Amino acid sequence: MNRVCTPYLSVCPNCGKHARIVFPDGSKSNDFILFEEGVSILKDAYKARKLSFEEMKSVEAQLNSSTLLRIEDLVKDVEKMVRENAEMDEMLKFKTVPDCEGFVMN
């Protein structure tokens, strides 16, 4: 394999929410938005011998400090929304929400 660069994580400079991995031969991975996708791409590249172990660990450290979404954070956000909706359903069910009679809503 021809090495033309040191592998690195290239994060979008505009939004910081998607990235790609640039490999030593200059090729690039597809864009991804999840941290876990990046780790999977790294492991696959290591298995395919596109990266050495040290290079994989270096890019993984860059991934760890990135702003990419993590599945565990998304799960926590969804659980929070479900809890909040359940609390609102309870309030509506037992009518603990203030009555707005007499107000005209536009």
Q: Is 80 exceeded by the pLDDT of residue 100? A: no
pLDDT in tens, 59-86: 999 999 988 888 888 888 888 888 877 7
Same domain, 22 and 59: yes
**Higher pLDDT among residues 81 and 46, named by residue:** 46
The secondary structure element, H or E, covering residue 72 is helix 71-93
pTM score > 0.85 for this model?
Answer: no
- What three-state secondary structure class fits 27? coil
The pLDDT score that the predictor gives to residue 89 is 72
Q: Which two tokens stand for residue 48?
A: 């395919």
What range does the domain containing 76 cover?
70-98
Amino acid at 28: K
- Could you tell me if residue 81 is inside a domain? yes
Q: Note whether 41 and 20 are same-domain residues.
A: yes
What distances in angstroms separate CA 98 from CA 101, 103, 106, one per listed residue? 9, 12, 18
